[in-house]
Chain A
Amino acid sequence: MSDLRSLRLSFLALALLALPLSLRAQQQNTCLDCHGSADGNLKITSEQIAQDIHFQKGLTCASCHGGDPTSMEAMDPKKGFKGHISHNKVPELCASCHANGSYMRGFNPSLRTDQLAQYKTSVHGKKLAAGDTHVAVCIDCHGVHGIRPASDTRSPVYPTNVAKTCSRCHADREYMKAYDIKTDQFAGYSASVHYDALAVRGDLSAPTCTTCHGNHGAAPPGVASVENVCSTCHVLQAQLFDTSKHKAAFQSAGFPGCVTCHSNHRISKPSDTLLGTGPGAVCVNCHVQGDAGFALAASVHKELVATQAAIARSDEILTRAERDGMEVSQAQLELIDARDRLTKARVTQHSSQAAKINEDIKVARTVSDKTYEAGVQAMKERNYRRLGLGISLITIAAMVLGLRLFITDLERKK
């Protein structure tokens, strides 16, 4: 046996020696020779290789799969070939480099190296550790061959693509059958202002799934923490909410802040109907006729709607005046002030304190009344101008008529 073995080995050695030098000098990727023309899951194209960040940095198939890419016996277990990496082994494999600080420093010192640690705290990580292979691992989000860096707009984890990536599982009813969570998050998010800002307007500061849930340590924030998450951007609303009676009430009832009224995924642009006692209002979910909150909600709603109407009234008359040629740009500017104040009132109402809210409402009303007056003045001036025009046209007509008659008279005397 050992003879045969040593024969095979020497034959191998001979074959290797016989290979032309150039071939040996090339970083030959023999994996591609077969896998490039394979079928289905086994097919790996050279395009994928070309766009993969690992290959660009000089790593090879063997860096993850083991084996020897320079030889025709690439898939030799003796050369360390691991073959297909099973789903639950992927995080450990990736972390073998990505969690190694000194190794990663040689490539990109500012990349984080705590992904695996974070992952272990996530719902995905915990379930994986318990034996569930249904959950996401590194390659499910980042891709497997042809991995682009997260800063590349084509990467599945680039901010504008994240929601779609998550929805591959989380919006799939069939796939999520075994779990006790809904699958409407992506549908809700797609209808939200955040989605509109991020995916439609391209505002990268807008949140996506990972902004609120974390990326590697992905998990829902938890009822007590929701307000903290929202307030990283919506600071003022959170501060005002903290001064309101709702804060303590929600805490004791176990309601999450923000989400209770605004929803978590399907966050639409709030309108004045959200506040109050009418249809579509959230206040009446808890408050009933007769309690103080009900009364406050009704009155704030009334004030907001009335202020909006006052602003619209000013806008209408100023637009009319402008169309008729009057110069009203200063008043239109001041109207922006009124609009800003109304927006502020809508923010201040998170405090549920009538005094604070009314302060903003009052300023908004004062300004819109003032601009309305300016519009009225402009229309008065416009009418005055038309009157003046009429008078001068009459005098001109008189003059023209007089001249006409005079000429006729003059020329009749022949």
Chain B
Amino acid sequence: MQASNDRNPSPTIDSDEGGAPDKSARRGFIKVLLGGGLLASAGSFFYPVLRYLVPPAAVDMGGDTVIAAKVGDLKPNSSKIFKFGSRPGLLVMRSDGAYVAMAATCTHLSCTVQYRSDIRQVWCACHNGIYDLAGRNVSGPPPRPLEVYDVHVSGEDIAVGRKREA
């Protein structure tokens, strides 16, 4: 670092000592560089911040609850596949009008299961595995039940969420 071996007040930024043309040209250049640099760098910092402050169009963050369908989308004894976070989910409207929802990834070899209205159970087409409407693996290769989700109807929306911890 260069020494400023000086106990006198150092010259202020505005004072003009030397009058030589290249010195003032140089000083001018420095002023431009500093001023421009300051403006440009401030711009490159504040531009992202200002854009950040504006909320994006998609306000729904996802989370543990997903709107799987609207009331009226499903008839009794029918189903719908919906996206639940990173996996597919299965929403079934039973013949008695109640909704059940469960994970749709078969626990055998991860095929996507489907609801069969003829046998009124959940079926995996890959190797004929069958689950009941409580997610229990009742027939065929699947070694474990399907994870069952909470279904909550609020107004027009059918919301599906993970079972809450106590």
Contacts and interface: CB of A to CB of B under 8 A. Distances in A.
Contacts of A411: 2, 4
A165 B10 CA distance: 99
Contacts of A388: 44, 48
Contact of A410 (B10, B37, B83, B112): B10
B125 A396 contact: no
Contacts of A399: 34, 37-38, 40-41
Contacts of B112: 340
A402 interface: yes
Given A205-B141, A233-B141, A409-B30, A414 B111 contact: no
Contact of A236 (B6, B27, B125): B125
A398 B30 contact: no
A184 B146 CA distance: 40
B128 A402 contact: no
A391 interface: yes
B97 interface: no
B14 to A, nearest CB: 12
Interface residues of B, number: 36
Contact of A395 (B18, B30, B41): B41
Contact of A413 (B17, B26, B30, B45): B17
B131 to A, nearest CB: 14
Interface string A185-214: 000000000000000000101100000000
B120 interface: no
A401 interface: yes
Contact of B86 (A203, A235, A333): A333
Interface in B1-34: 2, 4-6, 10-11, 13, 17-18, 26-27, 29-30, 33-34
B140 interface: yes
B141 A398 contact: no
B128 A234 contact: yes
A388 B51 CA distance: 14
A388 B33 CA distance: 20
A263 interface: no
B36 interface: yes
B34 A402 contact: yes
A347 to B, nearest CB: 8
B37 A405 contact: no
B34 A235 contact: no
A232 B128 contact: yes
B108 interface: yes
A329 interface: yes
B127 interface: yes
Nearest to B8: A414
Majority SS at the chain A contact face: helix
Nearest to B34: A402
A392 interface: yes
Contacts of B13: 410
A329 B87 CA distance: 12
A236 B126 CA distance: 7
A297 to B, nearest CB: 24
Contacts of B86: 329, 333
A406 B141 contact: no
Interface string A373-414: 000000000000000100110111011011101111111011
A129 B6 CA distance: 120
A203 B112 CA distance: 19
Given A203-B141, A235-B125, A395-B40, A408 B33 contact: no
Contacts of A402: 30, 33-34, 36-38
A409 B27 contact: yes
A39 to B, nearest CB: 47
A413 B27 CA distance: 12
A371 to B, nearest CB: 14
A329 B4 CA distance: 56
A235 B129 CA distance: 10
Contact of A403 (B5, B34, B108): B34
A227 to B, nearest CB: 14
Contacts of A236: 125-126
Contacts of A403: 34
Contacts of A206: 141
Interface of A: 203, 205-206, 232-236, 329, 333, 340, 343, 347, 388, 391-392, 394-396, 398-399, 401-403, 405-411, 413-414
Given A206-B141, A233-B127, A395-B41, 6 more contacts: A203-B141, A205-B143, A399-B37, A405-B33, A409-B27, A410-B13
16 contacts: A205-B143, A233-B127, A234-B127, A235-B125, A236-B125, A236-B126, A333-B83, A340-B111, A388-B48, A395-B41, A402-B36, A405-B26, A405-B30, A406-B34, A411-B4, A414-B6
Interface of B: 2, 4-6, 10-11, 13, 17-18, 26-27, 29-30, 33-34, 36-38, 40-41, 43-45, 48, 83, 86, 108, 111-112, 125-128, 140-141, 143
Pairs of residues from A and B, 10 with the lowest C-beta to C-beta distance, nearest first: A205-B141, A399-B37, A402-B33, A392-B44, A398-B37, A395-B40, A402-B34, A395-B41, A235-B128, A236-B125
